[in-house]
Copies of this chain bind each other. A is one copy, B any other.
């Protein structure tokens, strides 16, 4: 038989648009002699729909869409993800897959394992399904499972071996599995472990596309019952992919998209997510960026130019007396290299007026960090002015290191509808600039990558005057944030106790800022945002034993 993998990009809530795409793919698949067409998890409503699910009529519309898709499935078997309702309990729903053969729903499968960690919140929305039986698909006894059902290692219910024990000779796994670095290899490893237990081949279908802070990378794959990888779809690319499946279930070797270099993979994830945010919101004409000539905003500009085209990006350079000529030249050069519009909007006079009025209101007013913040906030006002006036999407440029320790100005450089590099530590941004963006030509001037970082908010300021070098800071933040280590754990890795305590305290007191930040793009296992839910009022002493 011919299996079709529909690695598609759907939009949360857009039941009509998603259904249209599903029906188009069914037609395309039939034209290509596909016998069984697989769509990702939650194809019809998109993933994750979050509290949209509770809006009256939402689940019903998704069921009506399923019925429409059923009618369009003449002469083909289609497996499609949707939200199913509990037979009796009005309020309960399942994360479900419908198996439709020739306009007849032959089976509905309910997801058994509901991830409720990090960005996942399925226990809020779904009830666990009961164990399912294999279903005959063109005479092959097949286990159809949904996403987490494959990741059964830490659960008491072992979904895969249970269905194999009931006779399944093939596993079809439909997924909405978000990207982070190394995730592609992790997924293939999980599948391999299940094959080691069961010796049954796995067809793994994943979504692609950006949805708020998460990105689905696709990277669908097929492994034979002996664990050989026989197919891998490209990452970050929508498409219909065909697999030959003999009745023996010994799948012949096919195309295997090569793994990307880490820097390219991260860059492409950001590009796809930003592109999808821009397009799916459907509200914007262009992207506007405050470009300082530093590495973060330079990097963000490159991502934006790639995502929506350089002709749709406008950069504002917003200098005061503290900005060096060299910063101006670098910012200008990047825009020239990319073909992006560059506009200079000096903020010196506005800043001077603020300082004058503050001096009148506050006796003996010395220059402090509050005055630094004013400059960042004036920039925020001007960038938001362009955003409001011209329907441009303002993209913010803060990185994970600075967001972690609060070295960003709330309502200043954090303004915007989308942040691009907020899940990358500063040292990682340098790496992507050097090893990927500037690999073949110097798009970002070398000087930007070599100068000591500075916010240029006072005379001769250097970030590393207030913070340890990023090479040290990032090595402390990584275990602290991504592995949730205590102060003692981090100190045991070889860092100074006082320094670690200071960093931990900066992370803690910046929580109220992060509570108000714009969404970023998840590329690591632990991203600031919906997957990390910290109290703001927090009396925990991270260091001490009781």
Contacts and interface: CB of A to CB of B under 8 A. Distances in A.
- Copies of the chain in the assembly: 2
Interface stretch (A9-17, A181-189, A292-300, A433-441): A9-17
A130 interface: no
How many residues of A sit at the interface, in one of the four size bands? Answer: 35 or more
26 contacts: A12-B538, A12-B539, A15-B539, A15-B540, A15-B546, A50-B533, A50-B535, A51-B532, A51-B533, A55-B484, A55-B486, A55-B540, A56-B484, A58-B540, A64-B545, A68-B546, A211-B537, A283-B509, A345-B357, A346-B357, A365-B389, A370-B385, A377-B380, A381-B381, A516-B516, A516-B518
A519 interface: yes
Nearest to A53: B484
A315 to B, nearest CB: 14
- Name which of A116, A211, A343, A532 has the most chain B CB atoms within 10 A of its CB: A116
Given A124-B123, A486-B57, A537 B277 contact: yes
A512 interface: yes
Interface stretch (A249-257, A302-310, A348-356, A458-466): A348-356
Contacts of A276: 537
Interface in A495-540: 509, 512, 515-519, 530, 532-540
Contacts of A238: none
A212 interface: yes
A49 B537 CA distance: 10
A52 interface: yes
Interface in A50-72: 50-52, 54-58, 61-62, 64-65, 68
A517 B512 CA distance: 11
Given A15-B540, A350-B357, A370-B385, 9 more contacts: A13-B535, A17-B539, A54-B484, A61-B546, A212-B536, A347-B357, A349-B357, A354-B381, A380-B411
A374 B50 CA distance: 33
A384 interface: yes
Contact of A535 (B49, B91, B345): B49
B411 A385 contact: no
A311 interface: no
A19 B539 CA distance: 12
Nearest to A415: B411
Interface in A334-365: 343, 345-347, 349-350, 353-354, 356-358, 361-362, 365
Contacts of A49: 535
A349 B345 contact: no
A17 B538 CA distance: 12
A373 interface: yes
Interface of A: 11-19, 46, 48-52, 54-58, 61-62, 64-65, 68, 91, 116-117, 121, 123-124, 154, 210-212, 276-277, 280-281, 283, 343, 345-347, 349-350, 353-354, 356-358, 361-362, 365, 368-370, 373-374, 377-378, 380-381, 384-385, 388-389, 410-411, 415, 417, 484-486, 488-489, 509, 512, 515-519, 530, 532-542, 544-546
Contacts of A516: 516-518
A481 to B, nearest CB: 11
A377 B369 contact: no
A48 to B, nearest CB: 7
Contacts of A11: 537, 539
A276 B415 CA distance: 29
Nearest to A52: B540
Contact of A374 (B46, B385, B535, B540): B385
B545 A61 contact: yes
B377 A51 contact: no
Contacts of A343: 361
Contacts of A361: 343, 345
A350 B530 CA distance: 37
Nearest to A515: B519
A43 to B, nearest CB: 14
Nearest to A530: B533
Contact of A537 (B62, B68, B280, B537): B280
Nearest to A213: B536
A384 B388 contact: no
Contact of A373 (B16, B55, B384): B384
A326 to B, nearest CB: 24
A13 B56 CA distance: 38
B283 A485 contact: no
